[in-house]
Structure 1
Amino acid sequence: MMILYFLFMIPLLFFNLINCWYLYQFSMILIMFMFMFNLINYYFSSFSYFLAIDYFSYGLIILSILIVSLMIISSNMIYKKLNMNLFLFMCLMLSLILIIIFSSVNMLVMYIFFEFSLIPLMVLIFGWGYQPERLISGLYLFFYTLFASLPLFLLIIYLYMSNGSLFFDCKYLFSLSFFFHFCLIFAFLVKLPMFMVHFWLPKAHVQAPVSGSMILAGLLLKIGGYGILRFMFIFENMFMSYNYIWYSLSIIGGILVSLICLIQGDVKCLIAYSSIAHMSLCLIGLLSMSKWGVIGAYLMMISHGLCSSGLFCLANISYERLSSRSFFLNKGLLTFMPSMCSMWFLFSSFNMGCPPSLNFLSEIFILNSMMMFWFNSLYYFVFISFFSACFSVYLFSYTQHGSSNFLYSYSLGYIREYLLLIVHLLPLLIILLGLNSFLI
């Protein structure tokens, strides 16, 4: 039903309706509420045509539709411009692709749409990006993903040849080959991205428009974690044998990337690197292969998707007024935009995992799973947590305090911008309050 809903929305975008922009957004929110009343179970339910949902896909699909509808509110610069309908079409395609990825029960279908998500994203970066460097950043994104996912495609063909099925609920061959494991997991590690294969992310983030940054941070990084989660249930022994390799890289990478954050001169670059630090924690939770770790990683995917997306919106709000993303020009926003300071404070606090946010709860879950996997990783977690707080404080204090470069002027936020930020903020608090029923 959802797929048909999206397909029938396509003609709407190419009629020259004046309120097509708002009608599209209303349609997205409507389908989100319709989807929320679906009956779901621990295992795949609502089966139809290689698609089904369970608890993992349920939250991520709702997050996808919410972020895509918020992309429309944030992209006010595109409203009533020449290519407005094409922009809406790209957003629609991205949301459709993400929903199929998160609800697919067939490996090949998931792989095809995993690759296909690159095309609308590259159109967003090339078409509505900021600087000429967007061309090279698009190529980084394209070739990293292409290079990493070819081994996965060959592995899927091999699985089909040896088992005759590609469904996630079948029993597959038992193999402890490291080459087999590497082909399986590498595509998802690049998408997450894990430290060492993360170079495409800051480049793509910085050059992408605000909508591109939101969908990259909010959703496309989550495909990696979701893929690992799905394959981990099938090849448990193989993952148990080799998890320590990726675990070690993630735990060291989390500390190093947090340090890299502290030397950034670009607001969007810092938020992009903070995404890598958070996703390394998410990967650690998944690789511990405990119930607490998986739930913690899942909650971190949801909370990071909302929090990071909100920070990119805030960076864009100041960029629209000052035409710069540099920390050296974005100083003193407290005097320039006093009304936005509380939002900066809340999002920076939630980014470092302060209570009462969902980020805080997910970090507690991941800390427990880390100690169950290897007790000494507690000491590494202390460093990751401390540096995470450092770069969040750095982001807040450097942008808000100091003397503003723009004398005798100040700016108010629009109602549209407050709506955008509050819709990012509320789920982080509401999900935390509703988790009692989820975890019983």
Structure 2
Amino acid sequence: MITSLIFLVMANLKSKYLCFTTILLVLFFNFEEQFNVKLLFKNNTGYAIDKISYFLGLTFLFVLWLILVACSILNFEANKLKMILLGIFLSLILFGTVSTNKLFLFFIFFEVSLVPMSLMIWGWGPGLKKITAGFFLLMYTSIAGAPLLLNLLFIMSKFKILTWGDLSGVAEVPVIFLYGLLVAFCVKLPVYMLHMWLPKAHVEASTTGSMILAGSLLKLGSFGLNRMIQVLMKSPLSLLILLSTLLHGLLVATYVACMLADGKTMIAMSSVSHMTILAGSLLTGSFLVSQNNQMASLTHGLVSPLMFFYFFCVYEPTKSRSVLLVKSTFLNTSHYLILLWFFCVFSNMGCPPFFSFFPEMLSFFLLLQYSFSNWGILMMFSLLMAGLSTLLISRMYLANAGKSSSKEGILHSMGTMNVMAQSMALMLGGWVFLKNS
């Protein structure tokens, strides 16, 4: 009941898209509050919704809500209706991916999700290199998907396993097959060294495409790793090698993000860092990994699209993504929106009282519980992430503080303020999930 009231208060009744999606969110929350069960739905048709599927579905609904609100308020997309329909279609595919219990059906949904994402890049991308970006997306994910298909067929034929629930009964899997299963999910997350397609896709995609890519599509990788935990634990040595590689890649990804000047690429590399540490915590095999995955998916699904949306509002007047050039535009906005941008950056860093603080600390706890020798890497990651957040603030605001003007534009739109305020309320109100996680 409390959750429903929160979303009703946030609703902007002038927007039909916002009213509709708010009603869906209220129903979704009420359903979860009334039926706090481990397995919500299962039958012999091949579909099953457990806790992780439910929370990922909630994340997809959140991202769709953000996109509908943004598109209904700001006319920054050509063929807006087609973009919205394509976003809804992609969300349905993603929900089918996380709700199916059949291995082969999962693979089909997993790969089909690339089609609408590629269309978003090619059809609405503003840059001249969008064809190359779409090609990188298809090349990385398709090449990584081939070993996944072969290994799923191997498991289904050798062990007679057709569903996710039966994977726990798999005997020891050869190392080469284990890495074949992992590579597709690591590319989709993505983790560092398998991430080259992500910055290109974000740079060349439209704002809506970047929001969907960051908020929804990347969650398929964490879902796959979460489902493969039982198989991963069969080979502890391979797990240790992979975890060590991920943690060192975590530092490099965060350091690279600090050295960049392109705002969209900085946000994309920040996503790589967060997804890498989430993958590392999943590989620990702790009983808390599912809860951590649920909360991390929700927070990243809100924060990352919001950062892309706000940065678009900043760089759109200047047509430049350089954080060194857009700061003059940033200073033309209201102090209210500047404060919301600070909150957004702090939430991305994982500061309290934002809900992102809890999954960040839980990831640290799981990695330290696995091996206390990880404390040095985690400490350096925290310092680098704090430095990245400082750069996102100082480069865009503090360098020319006090020189703001009263120029009107997209940054003074009440619609923009509504999107920011409502999304910030979601990030702060995420603590309501703790009671059922």
Structure 1 length normalisation: TM-score?
A: 0.88
Report the counterpart of residue 428 of structure 2 in structure 1. Answer: 429
Is structure 2 residue 99 aligned with structure 1 residue 96?
A: no
Q: Which residue is 1:283 aligned to?
A: 279
Contact 1:94 1:117 in 2 (8 A): yes
Question: Match of 2:120, as an amino acid?
Answer: L
Aligned with residue 105 of structure 1, among 101, 106, 131 = 101
Change (3 A) 1:179 1:391: same
- Correspondences of 1:24-103 after superposition (within 5 Å): 26-38=19-31, 40=35, 43-48=38-43, 49-75=45-71, 79=75, 83-103=79-99
Q: After TM superposition, list the pairs within 5 Å mapping 1:366-381 onto structure 2.
A: 366-381=363-378
**1:346 matches 2:339:** no
Counterpart mapping for 1:9-408 below 5 A = 26-38=19-31, 40=35, 43-48=38-43, 49-75=45-71, 79=75, 83-171=79-167, 172-233=169-230, 235-333=231-329, 335-339=331-335, 340-403=337-400
Letter in 2 for 1:203: K
Residue type of the alignment partner of 1:219: S
Q: How far apart are the structure 1 equivalents of 2:235 and 2:182?
A: 9
> CA separation in 2, counterparts of 1:177 and 1:229?
19
Q: Which runs of 5+ in 2 are unaligned?
A: 1-13
2-structure distance, mates of 1:345, 1:78: 22
Q: C-alpha root-mean-square deviation of aligned residues, in Å?
A: 2.4
* Change beyond 3 A, Cα 1:321–1:279: same
Could you say if the C-alpha distance between residues 78 and 361 of structure 1 is closer, same or farther in structure 2, counting changes exceeding 3 Å? Answer: closer
1:402 aligned counterpart, secondary structure = helix
The change in CA–CA distance for 1:151 and 1:46 in structure 2 (over 3 A counts) is: same
Q: Which residue of 2 aligns with 1:6?
A: none
**Which deviates further from its counterpart, 338-347 or 183-192?**
338-347
**Equivalent-residue separation in structure 1 for 2:111 and 2:292 (angstroms):** 27
Structure 1 unaligned residues grouped into runs of 5+: 1-20
Aligned-partner residue type, residue 352 of structure 2: P
Partner SS, residue 58 of structure 2: helix
User: What is the deviation of 1:138?
Assistant: 0.7
Distance in structure 2 (CA, Å) of the matches to 1:424 and 1:299: 16
Q: Secondary structure at the match of 2:48?
A: strand
Question: What's the CA shift for 1:408?
Answer: 5.5
Aligned to 2:10: none
SS in 1 for 2:356: helix
Q: Secondary structure at the match of 1:62?
A: helix
Task: Find the aligned partners of 2:146 and 2:344 in 1 and give their Cα distance.
Answer: 37
Instruction: Show CA shifts across 1:406-436 (max 9, x none).
Output: 985534432221222223222222122441x
SS class of match (1:187): helix
Partner of 1:37, secondary structure, is: helix
Q: 2:415 maps to which residue?
A: 416
Change (3 A) 1:376 1:161: same
Aligned partners of 1:333 and 1:341 also within 8 Å? no
CA distance in 1, matches of 2:173, 2:157: 18
- CA distance in structure 1 between the aligned counterparts of 2:37 and 2:380, rounded to whole angstroms: 35
* Contact 2:17/2:69 (<8 A) preserved: no
CA contact (8 A) 1:332 1:401 kept: no
State the SS of the aligned residue for 2:41.
strand
| Higher relative contact order, structure no. (Cα contacts within 8 Å, ≥ 6 residues apart) | 2
1:74–1:420 Cα contact (<8 Å) kept: yes
Contact residue 267 and residue 308 of structure 2 kept, 8 A: yes
Alignment check: 8 A CA contact 2:17 2:72 kept: no
* Shift, 1:265, TM fit: 1.3
Deviations 1:144-182 (A, max 9, x none): 000001111111112222233411112543123111101
C-alpha deviations, 1:48-98, integer Å up to 9, x for none?
432221111111111101211211222369859763332222111111011
Deviation at 1:28, TM superposition (A): 3.9
* Identical pairs, percent: 27
Task: Say whether the 8 Å CA contact 2:211–2:305 is kept in structure 1.
Answer: yes
